[in-house]
Amino acid sequence: MKIDKVKSLIEEVKAFAAGTEKEIEDFRIRILGNKGELKQLFAQFKEVAPEEKKEYGQVLNELKHVAEARVDELKQALKQQQSSAEADSLDLSRPVNQQKVGSRHPISLIRNRIVEIFQNIGYEVSVGPEIEDDWHNFTALNFPPEHPARDMQDTFFIDKDPDIALRTHTSSVQVRMMESQSPPIRTISPGRVYRNEAISARAHCFFHQVEGLYIDKNVSFADLRQTLFYFARTLFGEDTEIRLRPSYFPFTEPSAEMDVSCTICSGKGCNVCKYTGFLEIMGCGMVDPNVLENCGIDSKVYSGFAFGMGIERIAQLKYNVNDLRLYSENDAQFLEQFRSSL
């Protein structure tokens, strides 16, 4: 009787045991495969007497469910057995494999630290495009047409177009800020800039700057000095001294160069600071009224100051790096020195 055969097969399925994945898979194919026994039994359904069809169909469905459950049960048991064996084979006394930890680039470390210092006193971070037009890079900043910075020897122009160039400073971002916002404005602009210069230990064709801008009513040069004094002492230490020397920039008046006491000799004089006790780190000054007017700000109501520094220069003083080319040569041995600075 066909029903008895199916019931016998159900008991066989329940009693089946296997110790490998291959044995389980062979069993599944034999019972549940496209050419398996279950498929053949279903094909014989038409040969079953009408009064037995209902019971026959029920036992076939039972066979299918029992076989599927047994296969899953055997797979799960084998998986647990393998996991237990792997756990027993672990040697917990073995030393840990020490993976090398990566390090941040010194330029990133110094940039992040500068940004953090100024954010702590209310400055926001602003960014802008590295390819700029003449207005934002030169004209709005009070560069006259004959200024040497416009010459091909200093600027990378795009396709010889005198109106489009790689930005030579992040002051172009400050122009965009003044055009799009109303005072008070307090912002710093970190970013990469480009100059058409010969690459050497002291110069490169690209480098990084952080420039700052503060525009409001009644801003004075004293505010500028105190801000930069706070910055220098926070970055280099509480014993740091600064000095401001008169200078010239087209976009500030009056203008100054700022020096900090030498971090190598603590201001006593050495070959790094040329025995002056001070090292130059940035330019600064009061924003020229023409620049304010160019950007749509009333210079009779508002005043402000601006400053800019090279991040490579600050990193050189902070980490005693004597060759600018090291920052861009991807020397793993050089970069690994800054792992502890994370």
Using one digit for the tens of pLDDT, what is the confidence trace for 98-148? Answer: 777 677 888 899 999 999 999 999 999 999 999 999 899 999 999 888 877
The percent of residues in the chain predicted with pLDDT above 70, rounded, is: 93
Give CA separation, 163 vs 125, 195, 256, in Å: 27, 16, 29
- pLDDT tens-digit profile of 252-301? 999 999 999 887 777 677 766 777 888 888 999 999 999 999 999 999 99
Give pLDDT tens digits for 12-23: 878 888 778 888
| Structure-block tokens of residue 308 | 């800019």
Domains annotated for the chain, with CATH where assigned, are 2-88 (no CATH), 106-341 (3.30.930.10)
